[in-house]
Amino acid sequence: MANTQPTERHEEIQFRQLLEEAVTKPGTIMKAYSMFWNYSLGNQILALIQADKRGIQLGPIASFNRWKELGRYVKKGQKAIELCMPVTVKRTVKETGPDGTDVETEVPFKRFVFRRNWFMLSQTDGAAYQLPAIPAWDRARALATLSVEEVPFTMMNGNCQGYAKGRQIAVNPVAQMPAKTTFHELGHIELGHTSEAVHDSETTPRSLKEVEAESVALLCLESLGMEGAEYCRGYIQNWLSGATIPERSAQRIFSAADRILKAGIERAVSHD
């Protein structure tokens, strides 16, 4: 009988490790995206790593119940793939009330846990399965969906490839890699860099902002098979200066890249 019992590990996934896997191994993201584009980028890489490690033939992935709906059943003895799911939990926080007494308040927050309930096509049998086509990514649709306006490039510095302000981007008309620049500037916006107040004590350092935005560009370029990813790697390492990307930043990077990629396709379907 197939192993269909979902399990859960009560620990946060290390997105930093997934990002390192994606950044250091060219082709990993494009391979994962081509197979699992309707899942989040983090889960795409997770599924790919598990398939390679266990020798599972790559193919579409779906939950146990979804395969049943499609007229297929999980083969006897097959072990499910683990994916990461966001869950909302509550944390009790103590605050001092107006009268000076401590008041406990429950604050909801999101964390990530593993659940084991997905199988690849090769782990199933039954009715014929038609592989769905990968939807094309459209730049204009992405900008409209994200409510981002493209404005004329007015900076006098010819070395500047582009910039972002508020929810506007400008790309140098003679930019060497306009797609890379577009993703980089969209990354700044979706990461919240353009909305940070100058006086904010938690403002992200410029070096980390550049690493985060360029990492978003790398994920998007590789997912869509566009040129420029190799230049992203050098740019990222230059700004890191030997440091490592923090776990929180890695989570933000994956989330921003997911939003940009999903925004550019006609039907942004997600099975996470």
Residue 114 and residue 81: Cα distance in Å, rounded? Answer: 10
Final residue before a domain boundary, out of 74, 104, 126: 126
DSSP-based three-state secondary structure for 6: coil
Higher local confidence (pLDDT), 81 or 267: 81
Residues 118 and 196 reside in one and the same domain: no
- The residues with which 92 forms a beta bridge, in sequence order, are 106
Q: Are 232 and 218 in contact (CB under 8 A)?
A: yes
**119 and 157 assigned to the same domain:** no
| Statement: the pTM of the whole predicted model exceeds 0.95 | no
Does residue 97 belong to any structural domain of this protein? no
**106 within domain boundaries:** no
Q: Is the CB of residue 155 less than 8 Å from the CB of residue 163?
A: yes
Q: Count of domains in the chain?
A: 2
Q: Where are the alpha helices (DSSP H) in 200-246?
A: 206-224, 229-240
Residue 133 domain-assigned (yes or no)? no
One domain, residues 118 and 174: no
Are 228 and 258 in contact by the 8 Å Cβ rule? The answer is no
Residues 212 and 170 in one domain: yes
Q: In what order do the strands lie in the sheet with 162-165?
A: 149-150, 168-171, 162-165
**For residue 6, what pLDDT band results from cuts at 50, 70 and 90?**
very low
pLDDT at 254 exceeding the cut of 60: yes
Write down the pLDDT at residue 199.
45
- The band of 110, judged by pLDDT with boundaries at 50, 70 and 90, is low
To the nearest whole percent, how much of the chain has pLDDT over 70? 85
Asked whether residue 107 is assigned to any structural domain, the reply reads no
**Residue 229, burial from CB neighbour count under 10 angstroms (0-12, 13-18, 19+):** buried
pLDDT for position 113:
74
Does 60 fall in a domain?
A: yes
Residue 132 belongs to some domain of the structure:
no
pLDDT of 10 reads: 36
Indicate if 52 and 119 belong to the same structural domain. Answer: yes
**Which amino acid, one-letter code, is at 230?**
E
| Higher-scoring residue by pLDDT: 197, 193 | 193
pLDDT at 30 over 60: yes
Both 147 and 216 in one domain: the answer is: yes
The Cα angle at residue 44 between residues 236 and 37, in degrees rounded to 5: 100
User: Within a domain: residue 2?
Assistant: no
Q: Are residues 187 and 120 in the same domain?
A: no
Last residue of a domain, one of 73, 94, 126: 126
Same domain, 156 and 82: no
Angle at 144 between CA 138 and CA 147, to 5 degrees: 140
* One domain for residues 80 and 154: no
Residue type, 115: R
Q: Tell whether 61 and 161 lie within a shared domain.
A: no
Would you say residue 99 lies in a domain? no
Pairing of strands 149-150, 168-171: parallel
pLDDT tens readout for residues 61-83: 999 999 999 999 999 999 999 99
232 Cβ contact partners less than 8 Å away, ≥ 6 residues apart = 180, 214, 215, 217, 218, 221
Number of Cβ within a 10 Å radius of residue 145:
16
Specify whether 144 is located in the same domain as 258: yes
Task: Decide if 94 contacts 53 (C-beta within 8 A).
Answer: no
Q: Which residue range forms the structural domain that includes residue 204?
A: 139-263
User: Does one domain contain both 119 and 169?
Assistant: no
